[in-house]
Amino acid sequence: MAATLEEIRENFSLLDDWEDRYRYVIELGKELEPLADGDHSEENKVRGCVSQVWLKTHLSDDEADPVLTFLGDSDALIVKGLIAILHATYSGKHVSEVLSIDPEVIFNELNLREHLTPQRSNGLRSMVERLRKISQEAEG
């Protein structure tokens, strides 16, 4: 079972140094539900990432406030872990909630920005932008 955002926050607070947190992020990625081979497609590929990243999104049929769910994968272990954090943050949430979440607050709280390369930070931003764009389009 994938970790919740609260569990991730709690575990980050228990880990003293970034090396341990880095290993934890990689472990989170290993727990992700696998993406089917056919979903590693151009349509699901996220642009703006140095690594290969795919996000397969789904919106529920609720027209008033659909629920966004997604699966993701990457060819880089640390990026898979970042996808797991995004999954805990956004997947299973109504699009109105997705749009109300300030990812910077979460990333700052976990000190992700200061420990990621600029390229990884840009990739993380690209993934968030994709999820927000899908939510904005669904919200109309």
The domain segmentation of the chain, as residue ranges, is 5-139
- Cβ contact 83:74 at 8 Å: yes
Q: What H or E segment, with its residue span, contains residue 83? A: helix 77-90
pTM for the model stands at: 0.94
pLDDT of residue 25: 95
Residues taking part in catalysis: 49
Angle at 130 between CA 7 and CA 78, to 5 degrees: 45
Q: What is the mean pLDDT of residues 120-127?
A: 92
pLDDT beyond 90 at 69:
yes
Whether domain 5-139 has CATH 3.90.1010.10: yes
Q: What share of the chain is helix, strand, coil (3-state, %, to 5)?
A: 55, 15, 30
